[in-house]
Amino acid sequence: DVKVTQSSRYLVKRTGEKVFLECVQDMDHENMFWYRQDPGLGLRLIYFSYDVKMKEKGDIPEGYSVSREKKERFSLILESASTNQTSMYLCASSLWAGSYEQYFGPGTRLTVT
């Protein structure tokens, strides 16, 4: 089975802190994605990556950056956390560019105070 793991289930940070959210997948998937999920808004794509060192902006990239130095690992970075970034963050991966089913991690609930 594909396994996507995220570094923390719950995280509390202060405004202005730099925050790293880590995601690791164990199935050699080429594509990786970061979403945030907010009540009433569903999932919104922040960034995605088709390959190592490649990244593409999603629908809401402002205030975020990403890093993909190894194929299995995709990091989401909040350079200076703000209260409006309090949310559930979900990481996902898919096999290759032409495959569409995504496998999700359990999520990180981030609270910025």
Binding residues for other proteins, per CB under 8 A? 4, 31, 33, 35, 40-45, 48, 58-59, 88, 90, 92, 94, 96-107, 109
Nearer to other proteins, 16 or 106 (CB): 106
- How far is the C-alpha of 79 from the C-alpha of 2, rounded, in Å? 30
Nearer to other proteins, 58 or 63 (CB): 58
Q: To the nearest whole angstrom, how small is the minimum distance from the Cβ of residue 47 to other proteins?
A: 10
Nearer to other proteins, 66 or 80 (CB): 66
Residue with tokens 């990244």: 55
Nearer to other proteins, 14 or 57 (CB): 57
Q: Indicate the Cα dihedral angle 58, 60, 64, 69, nearest 10°.
A: -10
Q: To the nearest whole angstrom, how small is the minimum distance from the Cβ of residue 44 to other proteins?
A: 7
First-to-last CA distance in the chain?
A: 37
Q: To the nearest whole angstrom, how small is the minimum distance from the Cβ of residue 51 to other proteins?
A: 12
Helix (H) or strand (E) holding 75: strand 73-78
- What phi and psi values does residue 62 have, to the nearest 5 degrees? -60, 130
